[in-house]
Structure 1
Amino acid sequence: MMNEADSLTEIFRGGLPHCLLIVFSLLLTCSPVMPSEFEVISMSKYDLNGQHYGSRVASISLEARSLYSWNTSRHCVLTRLTDLSIHDFDKLRQGAGGLILMLPANILNLDPETKELITILEQSMLTHTAAVPIYFAPYNKDLEKIIDDITYTTTDSPGQNQTALAQLVVTVSANRYHINVGGGSIAANKNSKIPIIHGELIPNQLALKPTESVADGQKLPVILITANLKTFGIYNDYPVNADAAVLLVLMELFSKLHYTSSMAPKYRLRFLLSDAGVLLNFQGSKKWLEVDDNALQNVEFVLCLDTISESLSYTTENALYMHVSKPPKDKTSISNFFKLLKSSAEKYSNGLAVEGVHKKINLADTKLAWEHERFSIKRYPSFTLSSVKSPRSPIRTTIFKNDESRLVEHTLNTTRIIAEALASFMYKVDPTSSIFEGQLAIKEENILPYFGVKSILHNNDVKDAFEKYLNNVKIIYDKPDARDPEFMFYNENEVKLNVYRVKPAIFDLFLTFVIGAYLLAVFLAIQYFPRFYDEVSKLTKEDPAGQSNGHSSERVRMKSH
Structure 2
Amino acid sequence: MGLGGLPDTKSACMFKISVVRLLIYCIFTFKNFSETSETFTVYRCQQHDLQGVAIGSRVASMECEAQALGSRLVSRRCLVLSLSDASVGKLENATFNNVAGVLIVLPSHEWSRDLEERFVNFEHELLSTELALPVYFVFEDSVIAAIQKDLNERAEMEAHGGVISSRLSSGTYFKAISNVLWSTGHRLVVHSAPVSRLDHASLVNIEVKLVYIGTDPFKGYLRSNAEQNLPVVVVCAHYDALSAIPSLSHGADANGSGVVALLELARIFAHIFGSYGTRPKYDLVFLLSGGGNYNYMGSKRWVDQMSKETNGLAFLDSVAYVICLEGLGSSQFANAIFAHLSRPPKHGSFSHQFLRNVNLSSVLHWGNVSSAVITPSHPSYVYPVHKKINLNEDFLSWEHERFSTYRLPGVTLSSWPSHHIANQMRHRSFDGGPVYRTLACSGIQVTRTCFRGTVCPSVLARNTRIVAEALFRTVFEIEDVQAVLDTTFVRRQWITDDSVTAVLDLVVRHPRSSQLLLDSDEYPPSVSPHLREPRSRLLQSLVYLMKSLLHHVHVVRHPLSPQSAGKQVKSAGKFRPSATEDDESVTFGGPGDTHSSRSPAVAYSSAFGDVDVVLYTASGPATMSVYRLKSSAFDLFVALAIGFYLAVLYFILEVSTSLLFCGCFVSYLGRLICQRCVRIL
Same fold by TM-score greater than 0.5:
yes
Deviation larger for 459-468 or 298-307: 459-468
Cα distance per residue 1:229-257 (max 9 Å; x no partner): 13564132544222111101111111222
Seen in structure 2, the aligned counterparts of structure 1 residues 436 and 59 have a Cα distance that, compared at 3 Å, is: same
Matched, 1:481 2:498: no
Matched, 1:307 2:310: no
Instruction: Please name the residue that 1:337 is paired with.
Output: 354
Which residue of 499, 503, 518 maps to 2:630?
A: 503
Instruction: Note if contact 1:199-1:270 (Cα within 8 Å) is conserved in structure 2.
Output: yes
Instruction: Please name the residue that 1:540 is paired with.
Output: none
Seen in structure 2, the aligned counterparts of structure 1 residues 119 and 396 have a Cα distance that, compared at 3 Å, is: same
Cα distance per residue 1:327-382 (max 9 Å; x no partner): 43444332332333223223323899432333333333333222122111112112
Matched, 1:364 2:381: no
Seen in structure 2, the aligned counterparts of structure 1 residues 330 and 141 have a Cα distance that, compared at 3 Å, is: farther
Distance 1:219 1:93 in 2: 61
Distance 1:53 1:322 in 2: 33
Instruction: Note if contact 2:322-2:408 (Cα within 8 Å) is conserved in structure 1.
Output: yes
Matched, 1:178 2:187: yes
Instruction: Please name the residue that 1:228 is paired with.
Output: 238
Deviation at 1:211, TM superposition (A): 11
Which residue of 97, 100, 103 maps to 2:103?
A: 100
Instruction: Note if contact 1:122-1:394 (Cα within 8 Å) is conserved in structure 2.
Output: no
Instruction: Please name the residue that 2:426 is paired with.
Output: 396
Matched, 1:284 2:298: yes
Instruction: Please name the residue that 2:77 is paired with.
Output: 75
Instruction: Note if contact 1:24-1:515 (Cα within 8 Å) is conserved in structure 2.
Output: no
Aligned AA (1:375): F
Instruction: Please name the residue that 1:555 is paired with.
Output: none
Which residue of 40, 43, 55 maps to 2:42?
A: 40
Instruction: Note if contact 1:253-1:440 (Cα within 8 Å) is conserved in structure 2.
Output: no
Deviation at 1:384, TM superposition (A): 1.4
Distance 2:15 2:648 in 1: 16
Aligned AA (2:411): F
CA RMSD of aligned residues (A): 4.3
Deviation at 1:172, TM superposition (A): 4.7
Seen in structure 2, the aligned counterparts of structure 1 residues 329 and 85 have a Cα distance that, compared at 3 Å, is: farther
Instruction: Please name the residue that 1:374 is paired with.
Output: 402
Aligned AA (1:282): Y
Deviation at 1:147, TM superposition (A): 2.0
How many residue pairs get aligned? The number is 521
Deviation at 1:442, TM superposition (A): 1.6
Seen in structure 2, the aligned counterparts of structure 1 residues 221 and 90 have a Cα distance that, compared at 3 Å, is: farther
Matched, 1:249 2:252: no
SS at 2:71 equivalent: coil
Instruction: Please name the residue that 2:495 is paired with.
Output: 442
Is there any run of 5+ residues in structure 1 with no aligned partner, and where? 534-561
Distance 1:93 1:422 in 2: 54
SS at 2:485 equivalent: coil
Distance 1:520 1:254 in 2: 91
Instruction: Note if contact 2:251-2:428 (Cα within 8 Å) is conserved in structure 1.
Output: yes
Aligned AA (1:363): L
Deviation larger for 27-36 or 171-180: 27-36
Deviation at 1:291, TM superposition (A): 0.8
SS at 1:148 equivalent: helix
Instruction: Note if contact 2:247-2:620 (Cα within 8 Å) is conserved in structure 1.
Output: no
Distance 2:631 2:387 in 1: 57
Deviation at 1:224, TM superposition (A): 0.9
Seen in structure 2, the aligned counterparts of structure 1 residues 161 and 415 have a Cα distance that, compared at 3 Å, is: same
Aligned AA (2:108): A
Distance 2:649 2:499 in 1: 84
Instruction: Please name the residue that 1:386 is paired with.
Output: 414
Instruction: Note if contact 2:78-2:101 (Cα within 8 Å) is conserved in structure 1.
Output: yes
Instruction: Please name the residue that 1:275 is paired with.
Output: 290
Distance 1:332 1:507 in 2: 81
Instruction: Note if contact 1:192-1:489 (Cα within 8 Å) is conserved in structure 2.
Output: no
Residue identity over aligned pairs, in percent, reads 25
Deviation at 1:178, TM superposition (A): 1.6
Distance 1:377 1:25 in 2: 78
Mapping 1:50-65, distance limit 5 Å? 50-65=52-67
Deviation larger for 247-256 or 402-411: 402-411
Distance 1:511 1:225 in 2: 72
Cα distance per residue 1:382-402 (max 9 Å; x no partner): 221222234353322223225
Instruction: Note if contact 2:54-2:130 (Cα within 8 Å) is conserved in structure 1.
Output: yes
Deviation at 1:161, TM superposition (A): 11
Instruction: Note if contact 1:47-1:487 (Cα within 8 Å) is conserved in structure 2.
Output: yes
Instruction: Please name the residue that 1:551 is paired with.
Output: none
Cα distance per residue 1:73-115 (max 9 Å; x no partner): 4221223435534544554566642222333324xx3232322
Instruction: Note if contact 1:228-1:243 (Cα within 8 Å) is conserved in structure 2.
Output: yes
Distance 2:81 2:289 in 1: 36
Matched, 1:490 2:617: yes
Seen in structure 2, the aligned counterparts of structure 1 residues 173 and 439 have a Cα distance that, compared at 3 Å, is: closer
Deviation at 1:493, TM superposition (A): 6.6
Distance 1:270 1:93 in 2: 50
Instruction: Note if contact 1:57-1:133 (Cα within 8 Å) is conserved in structure 2.
Output: yes
Mapping 1:405-420, distance limit 5 Å? 407-420=456-469
Seen in structure 2, the aligned counterparts of structure 1 residues 467 and 169 have a Cα distance that, compared at 3 Å, is: closer
Cα distance per residue 1:255-304 (max 9 Å; x no partner): 222344444312221111023222x3222112111112323212222111
Seen in structure 2, the aligned counterparts of structure 1 residues 473 and 32 have a Cα distance that, compared at 3 Å, is: closer
SS at 1:497 equivalent: strand
Distance 2:72 2:466 in 1: 52
Which residue of 338, 341, 350 maps to 1:324?
A: 341
Instruction: Please name the residue that 1:164 is paired with.
Output: 165
Instruction: Note if contact 2:199-2:614 (Cα within 8 Å) is conserved in structure 1.
Output: no
Greater gyration radius: 1
Deviation larger for 352-361 or 363-372: 352-361
Instruction: Please name the residue that 1:124 is paired with.
Output: 125
SS at 1:276 equivalent: coil
SS at 2:426 equivalent: helix
TM-score, reference length from structure 2: 0.65
